[in-house]
Amino acid sequence: RKTNIHEMLDEVTDRFSFQLRQKNIRAMIVVDRDLKSAWLDRDQIDQVLDNLISNAIKYTLEGGAIEFSAHKQDAGTIAISVKDTGIGIPKKDLSRIFDRFYRVDKARSRNMGGTGLGLSIAREIVKAHGGTISLKSELNEGTTVTFTLPVLQEEGETA
């Protein structure tokens, strides 16, 4: 359905407001001026966003920050990023991070809960929608996950 991107990102942070407050994590949203709305499969894209923010919260220490940003990559593509100031991912694990059930270092994830499916599901959904997903991370600095989605360009609108 037609979705205002800023509203969609507001709603994600609202769904996680309890966890954010609990860990005293600030959430920011930055949406490019020329990106207002797009036709999106909201149930599916919400699932991607929920997986990404839940990781960002889970793997960010108290007092950290999470930033959502969205911009138009080109006329037919939008890019949405979730950036955190969390624990990061070791270089050696980066190539397997989207694999099913893959979790970095059992020791650090043991008491965090989870099955290692979140990122693989996110990738499935993004791929099914014709987009791509990628992750950049620096150990002890933070992680940024970016996914793209093809969007319909509407007549007479810079959506």
In the shown chain, the binding pattern of residues 88 to 127 toward Mg ion, with x for contact by CB under 5 A and - for none, equals: ------------------------------x---------
- As a whole number of angstroms, the distance between CA 32 and CA 68 comes to 11
**86 belongs to the binding site for Mg ion (CB under 5 A):** no
Could you tell me which stretch among 16-24, 34-42, 97-105, 147-155 binds ligand ATP (CB under 6 A)?
97-105
Q: Compare residues 72 and 103 and give the one whose CB is closer to ligand ATP.
A: 103
**CB neighbour list of residue 86: distance below 8 Å, 6 or more residues apart:** 56, 59, 60, 61, 64, 142, 143
**Stretch near ligand ATP under the rule CB under 6 A, chosen from 24-32, 67-75, 82-90, 125-133:** 82-90
Query: From CA 152, how far away is CA 40, in angstroms rounded?
Result: 9
Burial 63-96 (b: 16+ CB within 10 A, else e): ebbbbbbbbbbeeeebbbbbbbbbbbbeeeeeee
Handedness of CA 35, 36, 41, 46 (dihedral sign): positive
Could you tell me the smallest distance in angstroms from the CB atom of residue 75 to Mg ion? 32
Among 9, 40, 81, 86, indicate the residue that binds ligand ATP (CB under 6 A): 86
Considering CB distances under 5 to 8 angstroms, the limit depending on partner class, which of ligand ATP, Mg ion, none binds residue 115? ligand ATP
- Binding residues for Mg ion, rule: CB under 5 A, are 55, 118
